[in-house]
Structure 1
Amino acid sequence: MKKLIYLIACAFILIFHQANAQEVSYFGEKITESGAIEATKLSEKMKDKKTMEAKVTGTIVEVCKKKGCWMTVDIGNNQKMRVTFKDYAFFVPKDANGQKVVIEGVAQKEVTDVATLKHYAEDAGKSKEEIEKINKPKEELTFEAKGVIIKKK
């Protein structure tokens, strides 16, 4: 009888654990979540620096629809940070929108030219009209990730 109760308890624990478990996927270099800061705090942390090594956590807003070769992460105030992958060595799933992410690499403040902005808009599946409206460079915070963790629930 004790064995039966023990087996039932183990089964409940296993079912509960599986229901609450997060699926975690790694891309690029294997990194950990330890020491990651919120993406909304990155700009503040960088202050006047043009580049900074960082580990950041946030939410994926959009992924390149063609290959998963870039993604954007919410950095607050209705802004997104474009994340590319070091040496174009890995991609992320194209259906990762809305998932939690940890990225490690180099953040940088840069100006993205019109041609590149149009290319990104095309990769994102934007309409021809939306792409044609892009007519000036954009100052933005970007990130080159050497490793990525995507957490699904």
Structure 2
Amino acid sequence: MKYAYILLLIAFFSCKNETSQAQNTDEVSESEVESSKYKSFGALITDENVLETEKLAANYSDLKLNDTINLKAKVKVLDVCQAKGCWMIVDLGNDETARVKFKDYAFFMPKDIKGQEVIINGKAFVNEMPVDELKHYAEDAGKSEEEIAAITTPERTFSFEADGVLLEK
């Protein structure tokens, strides 16, 4: 009976040690992500299977109002919300842009990344943005009162809901 207790204790401590080693492995993989060439925001994503801007623009041209498509793309940031970093405007090429918001308002981007390239992962869609929302975004972007007052009609827009973003360090 004494040996049974000893075996039980050995089994208990060896299981606990395995759990501890598994946790250390997870910590290593997270630190490897942090030491990569990207800073990650939101869900952890990779830089694999990324669409270039031209192909992203082609995907948008195939979408109708309220259609969505899941994808990952590399884009250039043209503007960022200066209030909180809660949205970005990205270049699609051919004088087209898309507004990127972040899923569940779960993360924000640095406000000083204008001109940098990012990898975004999530849902691309086309929608019609109402006047009050357009004015809100114009205010966030620091537009003048005259520019904001000139917004009087809804606008068909390309949009993107990102669950993860990679920003090159």
* Structure-1-length-normalised TM-score: 0.81
Query: In the alignment, is residue 147 of structure 1 matched against residue 168 of structure 2?
Result: no
AA at the equivalent of 1:117 = L
Alpha-carbon separation, structure 1, partners of 2:81 and 2:53:
19
Q: CA deviation at 1:23?
A: 5.1
Structure-1 residue corresponding to 2:40: 26
Equivalent of 1:80 in 70, 88, 97: 97
Deviation beyond 3 Å, 4+ runs, structure 1? none
Alpha-carbon separation, structure 2, partners of 1:85 and 1:48:
20
Structure-2 residue corresponding to 1:126: 143
Moved more, 91-100 or 40-49: 40-49
* Structure-2-length-normalised TM-score: 0.73
Greater C-alpha radius of gyration: 2
The root-mean-square deviation of aligned C-alpha atoms, in Å, is 1.5
Q: Deviations over 1:25-84 (max 9, x none)?
A: 110011111111123322422514510001011100000000000001101122210000
Structure ranking higher in helix proportion: 2
Write out aligned runs for 1:57-136 (5 A): 57-136=74-153
- CA 1:113–1:26 in 2, change beyond 3 Å: closer, same or farther? same
Identity %: 47
Q: CA deviation at 1:151?
A: 1.4
In 2, are the aligned partners of 1:40 and 1:74 still within 8 Å (CA)? Answer: no
- In structure 1, runs of 5+ residues without a counterpart are 1-21
Q: Deviations over 1:87-123 (max 9, x none)?
A: 0000000001001100000001110011000000000
Alpha-carbon separation, structure 1, partners of 2:54 and 2:142:
26
- In structure 2, runs of 5+ residues without a counterpart are 1-35
Query: In the alignment, is residue 45 of structure 1 matched against residue 62 of structure 2?
Result: no
Query: Secondary structure of 1:37's match?
Result: coil
Structure ranking higher in strand proportion: 1
Structure-1 residue corresponding to 2:154: 137
Alpha-carbon separation, structure 1, partners of 2:147 and 2:54:
27
